[in-house]
Structure 1
Amino acid sequence: MIAFTPFILTLSILAVVFGGAIPQRRSDDPICVGQKTVTVTAPAASSSPVVQPPLGDATQPVSYGNSSLSTSDSSSGFPNISIPPKPYSTAAVSPSSDNAISNSSGYENSLYFTNWGIYGANYQPQSLPASKLTRVYYAFASFGSDGKVASSDPYADLQKHYPTDSWNDVGNNAYGCVKQLYLLKKQNRQLKVILSIGGWNDSPKFPAVASSDTARQTFAQSAVKLVTDWGFDGIDIDWEYPENAAQASDFVKLLGELRKQLDAWTAANAREYHFLLTVASSAGPEHYNVLDLKAADQFLDSWNLMAYDYAGSWDTTSGHQANLFPNPSIPGATKYSTDKAIKDYLAKGVSASKILLGLPTYGRAFDMTAGLGQPFHGVGPGSATLQSPGLWLYKDLPRPGATELYDKTANASYSYDPSSQELISYDNVASARQKGMYLKQKGLAGSFFWEASGDKQGTESLVGALSQELGTMNVRSNLLNYPTSQYVNIQNGMAGA
């Protein structure tokens, strides 16, 4: 979901070979996924002096710790916005009912989990903070030129044996991440697992498939078969990006066919259940203005707005990679903004209640720079497991010697080291909570993160911070009954597990 340079794109293609948890890019453009922002109080005491930001009154020091923002009422740092009431069900979700349905309008807190993350990053499904999530997006399934959707890594998806897996099971059984995700669903009935199809590497295949009636039908039917074989709860389409009116029309047709096939399966096998259909969508007007957003909206449950990668190595000046608002005093640092993208989506007919605000669990570096909006020279090495220059996992930040700062106009956090002149744009706990407040004020559906292996644990977890800020979560239960699955253990609901 990250906008990579050609060099990074090459590394991303080799992700499984090298075993690195490389964030999957969703656009060669600087616009793709989203980051968040927050105001926080400076620490009461510090063992090191606070470094003043290079651009004076545009920024202020930021620390970990408790946010100074109030989340108990409609007042906030955002003018003329009030938080609408969010109706929800307080009914408990019964873990014993395979098709238990509880209506809820609580918030979504979602996380992309990659099948290549089990290698170099050593991030396994059991590490997912399931109790704090309502959705896990499993990335990525692939597809052929004929439209047939299939596993992109059979070993990671279905074959890897974890310590609790037996080698003596009878019949055709699912193992790997698929089994572990199903077990998480059994233990956390609010958790839906959604199969994400495509990604940057497979996106060039979409135009031909989507333009053919036969290939569209094959795509939809095989995608639904994979979802129901694996015991998942829906489909996410990551096409980066439709480039013209014809492709935009085909995109809508593809979504319509997927909705039709998903509903056909539930009508025959789980009449009261609703499979989710979502898309990863750009925050760049050069991409979303191509789409017929209103036509697509009728088929979708969520738009996963990739509100990050606004700045990076492709630029000539340093900038915020996921700011909420523009900062007119530093125009070179805020060429894009999340707020503008959301306003445009709403104006074009997208339902606010379907938008998930995306946040990154990584930062983008700018080396040898005097500050925001200033020229830079290089981006540095980045985190070792990413093998992508200039990309730092959130859990590796801030870097030693750096001070976290906050641009209160743009609502964006970053760090700066005056000795090395390294600036890194990323979200921290404080900015995550601010974005949570923002999405509530806007009446959005919730949030998602790209991707699981980059987050910290405990009180510094971004996923945890959003869960706490959002409060009421959507407790609509998942599905556990898949009578048509080809895998014995999924068909029998992992009996005894």
Structure 2
Amino acid sequence: MPVVLGYYPAYEGFNEASIPWDRFTHVCHAFITSDKQGQIETNDKVPSRSLTERAARHDTPVILSVGGWGDADGFEMATSSPEKMASWVEDLTQIVVEYGYAGVDVDWEFPKDESTKQRFTQLVRAIRSSFDRVTTTTGMRLLITSAVTARPAEGKWIDGPALEGAIDFLNVMTYDFSGPFTAVASHHTPLFGSPEDPESAWRSTQAAMAYWEETQGFPRSKLNVGIPLYGRKFPLRQPYTATSGARAAGFGTPTYRQILKLIDAGWTLKQDAHAKAPWILAPQGELGIVAFDDEASARRKAEWARSQGYRGIFFWAIGHDSLPEGRFPLLDASIAGWQGAE
């Protein structure tokens, strides 16, 4: 079954009643985390029976996302002993079943060495064993997915061959290739590499997906391509220039909705013919460039993903391209591209 998945970060305040359920095959509900003792930590937004019940009326399974950026220490503590891991997995399984989730999305950002590499594998396998027991008891099969890096330097701390059999599909985060953390302001979600990018060999959607297939051993039928509904802003005048010395406050992550407002305010659209992705540049006298996906590049990316035989596409995050009258232009362009490539 092809996948069109959206991440719903409830903490951002987008109303669950406004989620365009008919666009998605799956929704990931983000996030629950782990505390300093390695125990699962819920919050007032997640988990939510209201969300899963609403989704059920639309026949859309909701997957519970665990972790997210900043929760690596929580994962490390939760897996620091067999006893802690077993307790953590038991609590997670109970939440998934009790609240009616369709499974769990493990978002450990990121395993960083041989120890955490092994523990990530052990954790996913333990979740699979726990979920299998649920299947034996109830007949309900629960999904395990994982959001994974697009960077080989971080991906090397995941043992793909050991995990592939336990995971239903991976959401490869083919975005955030560039930002204040990189030496050059390259495109943050290019489909292909650019000769202007000094690290184009790995910094593209095409290269990232090839890494998870060829190096990590996941079949394309288990790989989803990520499409961001936001951009990366740099306090610079031109793409592919050094970020060193740039004013820290000038970096940002504008949503597509905010990017459209910048275009209306006079920012100039510039297409990157190699990366197959656009930029916008600030008007004369102002400072700023934004790397992002527009409707054309998002559609092209989705068409490419389908034509290459990948399982699906996914989005971070639901609501970032919401416009009046229930319009979701970037989401809809991507889905049109995915369906048009059938």
- Fold equivalence (TM over 0.5): yes
Corresponding residue for residue 54 of structure 2? 184
Corresponding residue for residue 311 of structure 2? 445
Does the CA-based 8 Å contact 1:263-1:274 persist in structure 2?
Answer: yes
Aligned partner of residue 391 in structure 1, secondary structure: coil
Answer 1 or 2: higher relative contact order, Cα 8 Å, separation at least 6. 1
Aligned partner of residue 435 in structure 1, secondary structure: helix
Aligned: 1:140 with 2:38: no
Higher helix share: 2
Letter of the 1:367 partner, please give it: P
Letter of the 1:129 partner, please give it: P
Q: Deviations over 1:226-280 (max 9, x none)?
A: 11111110001111111122221111111011011112112212x1x32110111
Corresponding residue for residue 193 of structure 1? 62
Q: Which has the larger radius of gyration?
A: 1
Deviation at 1:403, TM superposition (A): 2.3
Aligned: 1:464 with 2:332: yes
Does the CA-based 8 Å contact 2:29-2:46 persist in structure 1?
Answer: no
Corresponding residue for residue 51 of structure 1? none
Q: 1-side partners of 2:317 and 2:90: how far apart?
A: 28
Does the CA-based 8 Å contact 1:416-1:422 persist in structure 2?
Answer: yes
> CA separation of 1:418/1:109 partners in 2, compared to 1, >3 Å: closer, same or farther?
same
Q: 2-side partners of 1:145 and 1:298: how far apart?
A: 30
Deviation at 1:404, TM superposition (A): 2.1
Does the CA-based 8 Å contact 1:277-1:300 persist in structure 2?
Answer: yes
Corresponding residue for residue 115 of structure 1? 10
Deviation at 1:320, TM superposition (A): 0.2
Corresponding residue for residue 248 of structure 1? 117
Q: Which residues in structure 2 correspond to 1:410-425 (within 5 Å)?
A: 410-419=275-284, 420-425=286-291
Identical counterparts, % of pairs: 26
Letter of the 2:226 partner, please give it: G
TM-score by length of 1: 0.63
Aligned: 1:311 with 2:206: no
> CA separation of 1:430/1:380 partners in 2, compared to 1, >3 Å: closer, same or farther?
farther
Letter of the 2:8 partner, please give it: F
Q: 2-side partners of 1:246 and 1:353: how far apart?
A: 29
Corresponding residue for residue 107 of structure 2? 238
Q: Deviations over 1:110-161 (max 9, x none)?
A: 111112122xxxx11111110001111111112235543241x23x347xxx
Deviation at 1:372, TM superposition (A): 1.6
The number of residues matched between the two structures is 332
Any unmatched runs of 5+ in structure 2? none
Does the CA-based 8 Å contact 1:282-1:306 persist in structure 2?
Answer: yes
Q: 1-side partners of 2:149 and 2:99: how far apart?
A: 28
> CA separation of 1:205/1:330 partners in 2, compared to 1, >3 Å: closer, same or farther?
closer
Does the CA-based 8 Å contact 2:282-2:289 persist in structure 1?
Answer: yes
Letter of the 1:180 partner, please give it: S
Corresponding residue for residue 202 of structure 1? 71
Q: Which residues in structure 2 correspond to 1:267-286 (within 5 Å)?
A: 267-269=136-138, 271=139, 273-286=140-153
Aligned partner of residue 231 in structure 2, secondary structure: strand
Q: Deviations over 1:170-215 (max 9, x none)?
A: xxxxxxxx233123223211x1101111112221122232242111
Does the CA-based 8 Å contact 1:109-1:446 persist in structure 2?
Answer: yes
TM-score by length of 2: 0.90
Letter of the 1:362 partner, please give it: Y
Aligned partner of residue 176 in structure 2, secondary structure: coil
Q: 2-side partners of 1:375 and 1:334: how far apart?
A: 18
